[in-house]
Amino acid sequence: MLQIFKSKNLLTQERLTLIYQILIFLVLAAGIIITGYLYYCGYEKEYRFGVEEQLRSVGDLKVDELVRWRNERLGDARLLYENPAFSSLVKEYQDNPEDNNTRAELHSWLNNIQKNYHYSRVCLFHPDGEVIISVPDYSQNISSVVREHLPIVARTGQIEFIDFYRDDLDDQIYLTILIPVLDEGTIDGLLVSLECR
């Protein structure tokens, strides 16, 4: 009987050892899984933060670039706005529209602006939208979107920046700057448009 008792005791001890080993294994496995999960969560947060920071930086750079580009376009517009030489030339043309020399000189001004500042079109036109000179040559009247802004420019005498719109005449998308031609600080009646495509 003693033998049976010893053998039962031995079996129980072996079982307990096995159970302890399994429990230790499960605790270690659970610890490794929890540690791995916590590391993953921390890494995910860190990675997400890094990506968000990069996107924020790219967004800020793009905004800065767009603001700089817009300011450059407005700087181009200021070349003609309150420019005594250009205003004088426009006044000469208004006084004598048949003078081919004045027309050629105006065309040269607009052509230089179009080529040097990479505009798709530069136009001199009447407040009613009738095109006087266009570079490149463009015989049609201006877009209805631009036409809507003419009274504002004529009334305020200020440069007007027209955001993206689809031209109803050629179905292209443009961004336009309207510039009133001023003669000694007063509105001359003619306008210039710088169009970007």
Q: What is the pLDDT of residues 98-122, one digit of tens each?
A: 888 999 999 999 999 889 888 888 8
d(CA 138, CA 61): 37
Expressed in percent and rounded to 5, the helix, strand and coil fractions of the chain are 60, 20, 20
In angstroms, how far apart are the furthest CA atoms of the chain? 136
Instruction: List the beta strands (DSSP E) in 29-185.
Output: 121-125, 131-135, 160-166, 173-183
Q: With 0-12 CB in 10 A as exposed, 13-18 as middle and 19+ as buried, what is 138?
A: middle
For the stretch 176-188, pLDDT in tens is 899 898 876 566 5
pLDDT number for residue 171:
84
| pLDDT-based confidence at residue 6 (cuts at 50, 70, 90) | low
Contacts of the segment 137-141: beta carbons below 8 A, 24+ positions apart: 140/169, 141/169
CATH class of the domain whose range is 83-196 = alpha beta
Determine which of 73-77, 105-109, 169-173, 180-184 has the lowest per-residue pLDDT on average: 180-184
Q: Whole-number mean pLDDT of the chain? A: 85
User: 42 by DSSP, 3-state: which?
Assistant: helix
